[in-house]
Amino acid sequence: MKSTLTNSLKRIIRVNSAIINFRYPQGDPSRKFYRSEEEEKLDKITLELDKNKNKISDLKKAKEKIKLECKQKLEEMRQENVNLNYARTKLENDNKYLQDHLKLSEDKNTNLQNQNKADKEDLKDLMESKIAKHKRTIDSLKADNNNLRHKKASYKKKYKILSNPPESTARKPKVVRSPKKKPPIEETKDGKLKKIEIECSETENEISVSELAREIRANQSEESDTSSEYEGGQRDMEVLEEIEKVCVDNILEGYDRKEEF
């Protein structure tokens, strides 16, 4: 475009010069005036051409700048596209991993539920067996308790008979403590063990369980001022049972010695 415009201007200048030379030959004073006017026009046209050149140069620079910006923008868009593709791929992989993990968790949860159900059944069977075992133990203890009650009643009956023998047995044997039977042991307040001294009467009429029990309680009161440390009547019954055993053994041993004489 620039070369076409320049050629057109040159052609116009040549045509004007030819017209001037034809109208105003050499030596004519008017030739200089017209010559100067044409030159001024040419200068104006040249100035406009220079301006146009500068505009064209500015447009080229702007064009290059726009191209560079477009290129940078395109590169940024490409990089962003790459990042988006990478993020999409990562999300897809994460989604797949989470789905697999969810499936494994569901399978594990199912297995745990089944195991929990089996454990509950096993625990139920174990509890039933333990309950049955405890019931058998309770029944056995009840039977043992009944046997001990009968045995206690039998001891009391024997003691009553032996403590009041018939008049035919006039000779009163000396009561000797059996070495096989150890005297009862009572625990004192400070945790030590104390032997209870039991004295059985030599005569049949002086043997009294209530008197012996009162004597034992009196001995116990010397060690402690309170009776709450002993378990009430149950403790007294245990002491009385020990007294009965010792006295019965002594009386039986006395009768055995009488028969030897």
pTM above 0.75, yes or no: no
Can you spell out the DSSP letters for 94-159? HHHHHHHHHHHHHHHHHHHHHHHHHHHHHHHHHHHHHHHHHHHHHHHHHHHHHHHHHHHHHHHHHH
Contacts of 30 (CB under 8 A, 6+ apart): 24
Per-residue pLDDT of the chain (261 residues; tens, 9 = 90+): 556 766 776 677 667 666 666 565 565 565 555 555 666 677 777 788 888 888 888 899 999 999 999 999 999 999 999 999 999 999 999 999 999 999 999 999 999 999 999 999 999 999 999 999 999 999 989 888 888 888 888 877 777 766 665 554 444 444 444 444 455 555 555 555 555 544 444 444 444 555 655 665 666 555 444 444 444 555 556 666 666 666 666 655 554 444 443
Report d(CA 213, CA 236) in Å as an integer.
7
Alpha-carbon separation of residue 17 from 24, 80, 160 (angstroms): 10, 64, 177
Report d(CA 117, CA 123) in Å as an integer.
10
pLDDT for 219 equals 61
- The H or E element that residue 193 is part of is strand 193-195
Only one residue has tokens 């043997």, namely: 207
Please give the DSSP secondary-structure letter assigned to residue 182.
Answer: P
Quick one: CA dihedral 238, 244, 247, 253, positive or negative? negative
pLDDT for 174 equals 47
**At 25, which amino acid appears?**
P
Alpha-helix runs per DSSP H in 164-173:
none
3-state secondary structure of 168: coil
- The β-bridge partners of 193 are 187
